[in-house]
Amino acid sequence: MSVHHHTKNITLKRLQAMKSQAEKIACLTAYDASFAALLDDAGVDVVLVGDSLGMVIQGRESTVSVTMDDMIYHSQCVSSAIRHAFIIADMPFMTYTSVEQALDNATDLIQLGGVQMVKLEASIRQVSIVKELSECGVAVCAHLGLRPQYIHKLGGDSLQGNDEKSSEDLLRSAEHLQTAGADMLLLECIPDTLARRITDNSSIPVIGIGAGSDCDGQILVLQDVLGITPGMTPKFAKNFLADTHDIRSAIVAYVDAVKSSSFPLKS
């Protein structure tokens, strides 16, 4: 097991180069300075301040109660401790319903939170918002497939894109969002074959969670990797602490597993 010491800061350009060179991108969530520093040191390439903090930090049932103030606070905690990794923050539920609102809130995440990229749950409807953010100089990650902020609208978490129409919709959304200026895609809970098609069709890095092993990188929620998630753990998650003796080794094992394509297992 090796520690992947970063030699320099991870930029979007570096992530792009990793995609071109087929070097897997290891991503994890963090919400505070202690874990952020540990992840950074263990060689995690991308740290996401996810709105999953609604569940794992605040003990709520979903992400929809998370506010901009929560995101700014946790982004500050994380960004103050990171020296190398690329930092992304989620835009919470209903904070990017119009171009103006999205611009204002992205500005706060970047200027006050200290993050480098914002992530929003996207479909065709968000294309104009992504375009405007991008043209104003904001790096954007479009989160497609299972979109947890739609929980009350769609009811429950399940595999997305598993019929002809929804998989064509996802492919088309991914294309349009990339054309609009998205710099990264995140695919959650979609069939492996569809994730592979989207990854092959995209020139930007594609990160997967529950989307098979062929994306350019992988992400998990930190608490799932440590086996301390309150309540249900998703099927695709893996407890890396179970086979190691401390938290640092568990994170290094996760990074190693992503880099060597041994996580997730090929189906």
Are β-strands 86-90 and 184-188 bridged in parallel, bridged antiparallel, or unpaired?
Answer: unpaired
The closest of 238, 240, 174 to 210, measured between CA atoms, is 238
Cite the DSSP H helix spans in the chain.
12-20, 33-42, 53-56, 68-79, 99-111, 127-135, 151-154, 164-180, 192-201, 222-225, 247-259
Q: Which is nearer to ligand KIV, 3 or 228 (CB)?
A: 228
Token code pair at residue 54: 């609604």
Question: According to CB under 6 A, which one of 117, 144, 170, 186 is a site residue for ligand KIV?
Answer: 186
Q: Is 135 assigned a catalytic role? A: no
Helix (H) or strand (E) segment spanning residue 90:
strand 86-90
Token code pair at residue 71: 């995101």
Which backbone phi and psi does 63 adopt, to 5 degrees? -90, -10
Q: Which stretch binds ligand KIV (CB under 6 A): 49-57, 81-89, 97-105, 129-137?
A: 49-57
User: Contact, 250 vs 256, CB < 8 A?
Assistant: no
How many residues belong to the site for ligand KIV (CB under 6 A)?
Answer: 12
Q: Which is nearer to ligand KIV, 137 or 156 (CB)?
A: 156
User: Hey, which residues between 155 and 174 contact ligand KIV (CB under 6 A)?
Assistant: none
Q: Which stretch binds ligand KIV (CB under 6 A): 7-15, 43-51, 166-174, 176-184?
A: 43-51
Q: Which is nearer to ligand KIV, 52 or 173 (CB)?
A: 52
Assign 3-state DSSP to the chain and report helix, strand, coil percentages, each to 5: 40, 15, 45
**52: helix, coil or strand?**
coil
Q: Which stretch binds ligand KIV (CB under 6 A): 48-56, 122-130, 162-170, 248-256?
A: 48-56
* Binding of residue 45 to ligand KIV (CB under 6 A): no
Query: Least distance (Å) from ligand KIV to the CB of residue 204?
Result: 16
Token code pair at residue 147: 């979109």
Query: Least distance (Å) from ligand KIV to the CB of residue 7?
Result: 27
Binding mask 5-34 for ligand KIV (x = CB under 6 A): ------------------------x-----
Question: According to CB under 6 A, which one of 52, 75, 213, 229 is a site residue for ligand KIV?
Answer: 52
User: Hey, which residues between 61 and 120 contact ligand KIV (CB under 6 A)?
Assistant: 90
User: Contact, 76 vs 162, CB < 8 A?
Assistant: no
Instruction: Say which of 132, 135, 164, 188 is annotated catalytic.
Output: 188
Question: According to CB under 6 A, which one of 71, 120, 170, 221 is a site residue for ligand KIV?
Answer: 221
Cα diameter, the chain: 48
Positions marked catalytic? 188
Residues near ligand KIV (CB under 6 A): 29, 48, 50-52, 90, 143, 186, 188, 209, 219, 221
